[in-house]
Homo-oligomer: A and B are copies of this chain.
Amino acid sequence: MRLSYPAEVEATRAEFSAWLDANLPPESATAIRPRSSADIPRWARDFQRAMFDSGWLAPGYPPEYGGRNADIYEQAVCLEELGRRRVTRSFNPQGLGIVSASIISFGTDEQKQKWAIPIMRAEKTAALGMSEPGAGSDLAGLSTRARLDGEQFVVNGQKVWTSGAHHADVLLVFVRTDPDVGKHKGISALVIETDTPGLKRRPFDDIIGRTPDFNEVFFDDVVVPRRNLIGELNDGWRVCNGSLAHEREMLWIMWSQGLDRMLADTFTDLAGTPAAVDAVVLDKLGSSVMDAWALRLLGHRQLTRSRRGLLASEQSLLKLMGSEAQQRLALLTVEALGPAALDRTVPDGAVSPFESDRSALSWSDRYLGTFAGTISGGTSEIHRNIIAERVLGQPRS
């Protein structure tokens, strides 16, 4: 137990902090905003590429993949520094965090050069084709078919909730290549260029009704070269778990920083209102402050354990805690503000493009927005089942 980092880790923090001060583009404070999670404004592309070239984009990777072989504490402090500035590494988070990461873990050198590195250097953007209308919580129940025909696959079916697909250059799509085996077997992962004939994208609004990010993606006899297969044929489930598991020990930081930001926004908006001194509000707010600390502390515990070579087994717990804590806090703020929670807080463009969560939303809408966290990436109910069975050792239902 030590409340401070080793000196060498703090040195890395200082170095990165200085780099950010020197390289963070002025546009990061302006209102040139992305239109979706696969749309990167020019200035942000330059910034992401600069981070890659300086080895700050993915510090844990070797230099050729935008890193510096940093250890896990160093990676953490880098993310802390970005969070403190409310800056994100990429406006194409799934492209960077999942698609390119999966290709780097499971792909061939050719595939890394063709897709992974361009995605990391923001020359290409990518989206993830996983969920289907009939396969939500039951992800492995996916039914989009890919028939292998000589050196090419022919893909038919539909994906949904594909964030940013309408602005993405490529999709990482999970398809069924062998319908005759158990549902977790017979799945494969394909990279599909979005301009391939037969591929149609329909963006649609989320519940908040901001510019659409979700897409339905339809595949009608889409022809995909066999060399776009990531990993082995029918071994896609491993890629899928691998991709979801990527930067595992780090995922909690996103939840933790999101919660910290929301807490800061709550403090700002409550300041000076009667709610700020109301015992009922304070009673609940204290619990949210504790949520934020506990999430951060349990995340750090995970870093320490994985640095000691111990298993990091609390992904599901931290996701559950982070997403539900944000939901509780948003609701608390709605109830504390009363009718003022109907009004939009900060007009679009008034805040940095990084702060999409704060801008142009009433707290009521922001509350509705937190359900993306408790529904996507496995609903809270699914994660409770996972924890009960894998961590607590309860029998499967």
Q: Which residues of chain A have a CB within 8 Å of any CB of chain B?
A: 278-280, 283
Q: What is the chain B residue whose CB lies nearest that of A283?
A: B280
- Residues on B with beta carbons closer than 8 Å to the beta carbon of A280: 279-280, 283
Return A394 CB to nearest CB of chain B, in Å: 15
Q: What is the chain B residue whose CB lies nearest that of A397?
A: B397
- Residues on B with beta carbons closer than 8 Å to the beta carbon of A278: 279
Q: What is the chain B residue whose CB lies nearest that of A282?
A: B280
Query: In the assembly, what is the distance between CA of A283 and CA of B279, in Å?
Result: 10
Closest CB pairs A-B (n = 4): A279-B279, A280-B283, A279-B280, A280-B280
Interface of A is mostly: helix
Q: What is the chain B residue whose CB lies nearest that of A281?
A: B279
Return A247 CB to nearest CB of chain B, in Å: 37
Sampled A-B contacts (5; CB under 8 Å) = A278-B279, A279-B279, A279-B280, A280-B280, A280-B283
Return A388 CB to nearest CB of chain B, in Å: 15
Query: In the assembly, what is the distance between CA of A278 and CA of B283, in Å?
Result: 12
Return A160 CB to nearest CB of chain B, in Å: 25
Query: In the assembly, what is the distance between CA of A280 and CA of B286, in Å?
Result: 13
- Residues on B with beta carbons closer than 8 Å to the beta carbon of A283: 280
Query: In the assembly, what is the distance between CA of A278 and CA of B282, in Å?
Result: 13
Query: In the assembly, what is the distance between CA of A279 and CA of B277, in Å?
Result: 11
Return A69 CB to nearest CB of chain B, in Å: 51
Q: What is the chain B residue whose CB lies nearest that of A284?
A: B280
Return A242 CB to nearest CB of chain B, in Å: 34
Query: In the assembly, what is the distance between CA of A278 and CA of B279, in Å?
Result: 8
Query: In the assembly, what is the distance between CA of A278 and CA of B280, in Å?
Result: 9
Return A276 CB to nearest CB of chain B, in Å: 14
Query: In the assembly, what is the distance between CA of A280 and CA of B278, in Å?
Result: 9
Query: In the assembly, what is the distance between CA of A276 and CA of B235, in Å?
Result: 64
Q: What is the chain B residue whose CB lies nearest that of A279?
A: B279
- Residues on B with beta carbons closer than 8 Å to the beta carbon of A279: 278-280
Return A350 CB to nearest CB of chain B, in Å: 34
Return A332 CB to nearest CB of chain B, in Å: 13
Query: In the assembly, what is the distance between CA of A314 and CA of B50, in Å?
Result: 66
Return A338 CB to nearest CB of chain B, in Å: 15
Return A299 CB to nearest CB of chain B, in Å: 30
Query: In the assembly, what is the distance between CA of A111 and CA of B278, in Å?
Result: 64
Return A190 CB to nearest CB of chain B, in Å: 37
Return A108 CB to nearest CB of chain B, in Å: 47
Return A293 CB to nearest CB of chain B, in Å: 21
Return A384 CB to nearest CB of chain B, in Å: 15
Q: What is the chain B residue whose CB lies nearest that of A278?
A: B279
Return A279 CB to nearest CB of chain B, in Å: 4
Query: In the assembly, what is the distance between CA of A331 and CA of B205, in Å?
Result: 44
Query: In the assembly, what is the distance between CA of A280 and CA of B284, in Å?
Result: 10
Query: In the assembly, what is the distance between CA of A205 and CA of B42, in Å?
Result: 75
Query: In the assembly, what is the distance between CA of A322 and CA of B351, in Å?
Result: 50
Return A259 CB to nearest CB of chain B, in Å: 23
Query: In the assembly, what is the distance between CA of A240 and CA of B34, in Å?
Result: 67
Query: In the assembly, what is the distance between CA of A283 and CA of B283, in Å?
Result: 11
Query: In the assembly, what is the distance between CA of A9 and CA of B278, in Å?
Result: 47
Return A19 CB to nearest CB of chain B, in Å: 48
Return A285 CB to nearest CB of chain B, in Å: 12
Query: In the assembly, what is the distance between CA of A158 and CA of B280, in Å?
Result: 51
Query: In the assembly, what is the distance between CA of A283 and CA of B282, in Å?
Result: 13
Return A274 CB to nearest CB of chain B, in Å: 11
